Amino acid sequence: MSIFSSWRKWNRLLHRDLGYIAFGLTVIYAVSGFAVNHIADWNPNFNIENISGTFSPDLIPADASDSAIAAILLPQIGETEPLTSSFRPSPEEIQLFVDGNTISANLVTGEIDQKKVQKRWFLHVFNYLHLNHAKEMWTYVADIYAVVLVFLAISGLFMIKGPKGILGRGAWLTALGILLPLIFIFLYY
């Protein structure tokens, strides 16, 4: 076996096995990349529902404690989760925190707003990894993945010989792939 064919054999073998390993990570990075690319249009991590309503301020006694106010207001809005904590931004306002919901009420006007927050489970986890919020060891996993991607890109160029390989049609398609970002750099940078 010549050195050249041996090199090709190892190139194919590594491209294949590293490609298998990179599959899961590539899906995570691609899906998350799509989600965060549109961050101006939506929240890629949480589903947020804002609900506004009213209640009768007469229901609240003047000297009621936060927990007493919560005991009156939470059933009014159909909230069944227990109160975890509360905050008074001003004498007239109260914020009630329950798991997954923040209730802001104005005790004078009777306005009540709910902000229900739910994690977009898969996207939240994918974004957590993609944007490296995990830090620590994940930083090195992501670094290795980046190196593997570069290897897959380069080794992919030499997978096929002949007119459809890098010396034929492959050259044109590769040039197109390089030209595309260059056009945008020229236009916008």
Which residues form the interface with other proteins (CB under 8 A)?
A: 39, 43, 45-46, 48, 50, 84-85, 87-91, 95, 97-98, 100, 102, 117, 119, 131, 133-134, 136-137
Q: How far is the CB of 135 from other proteins (least distance, A)?
A: 9
Locate 112 and state its tokens: 């009540």
| Neighbouring C-beta atoms of residue 10, cutoff 10 Å | 11
Measured from the CB atom, is 46 or 158 closer to other proteins? 46
- The CB-of-48 to other proteins minimum distance in angstroms stands at 7
Is the Cβ of residue 43 or residue 54 nearer to other proteins in the bound state? 43
Give the helix ranges, DSSP H, for the chain.
3-37, 66-76, 121-130, 136-157, 169-188
Helix (H) / strand (E) element for 101: namely strand 101-106
Q: Within 13 Å, how many C-alpha atoms sit on residue 13's CB side? A: 6
Nearest-approach distance from CB 66 to other proteins, in angstroms: 11
- Which of 5, 90 has the CB closer to other proteins? 90
Least distance to other proteins, CB of residue 111, Å:
12
Compute the distance between CA of residue 5 and CA of residue 52 in angstroms, rounded to an integer: 70
